Structure 1
Amino acid sequence: MGGASIWHWIVVGLVVLLLFGRGKISEMMGDVAKGIKAFKKGMAEDDTSEPAASPASDKGKVIEHKATPTAEVDAKASERKAG
């Protein structure tokens, strides 16, 4: 009592077949399979793209700067000493 026996599941299966028909159920299962495949493909793409986008994988960044001429540096240094 209260539990679903095999006969209950057979009746439910027959009702589902009558309502949806054999073709609709196979179409739905095909759609479910396509969805699962797309999900797995998306997860695989995320796994492969993650390390490339990770900032920890960067070995270092190049900082470009404009070097000042030595004459200007020497002049500024002498001004600091004098001032």
Structure 2
Amino acid sequence: MGSFSIWHWLIVLVIVMLVFGTKKLRNMGQDLGGAVKGFKDGMKDGENKSAESGEPAQAKELRDSTTIDVDAKEKSRQQ
């Protein structure tokens, strides 16, 4: 009951092909492959940019954010 035999998977595959059609399945596979490739390229580009700047990518994101960095000493003197 826990695992299916090869015949069960073949029947499921035939039903999926009948419902979606081979062209739609091929397009979905190409789209998924393109998304994975884009993700991998993006990860490599992020690593290369952070290595060039000499700081971790996460630190650069924090530095580039729109938050304002104020020293606590200056703020406590003003109050």
**For residues 44 and 21 of structure 1, what CA distance do their matches in structure 2 show?**
35
2:26 aligned with 1:31, yes or no?
no
Higher RCO (CA 8 Å, separation ≥ 6 residues) = 2
* Percent of paired sites with the same residue: 36
Aligned pairs for 1:2-81 (under 5 A) are 2-55=2-55
Structure 2: give runs of 5+ residues left out of the alignment: 57-79
Report the TM-score when normalising by structure 1.
0.61
TM-align CA RMSD: 1.7
The 1:7–1:43 alpha-carbon spacing in structure 2 relative to 1, beyond 3 Å, is same
**For residues 17 and 43 of structure 2, what CA distance do their matches in structure 1 show?**
34
1:17 partner amino acid: M
SS at 1:3's partner residue? coil
The 1:55–1:37 alpha-carbon spacing in structure 2 relative to 1, beyond 3 Å, is closer
**For residues 55 and 11 of structure 1, what CA distance do their matches in structure 2 show?**
53
Larger radius of gyration: 1
Which ranges of 4 or more aligned residues in structure 1 deviate by more than 4 Å? none
Cα drift, residue 3 of structure 1: 2.0
Structure 1: give runs of 5+ residues left out of the alignment: 57-83
- Aligned positions, number: 56
Report the TM-score when normalising by structure 2.
0.64
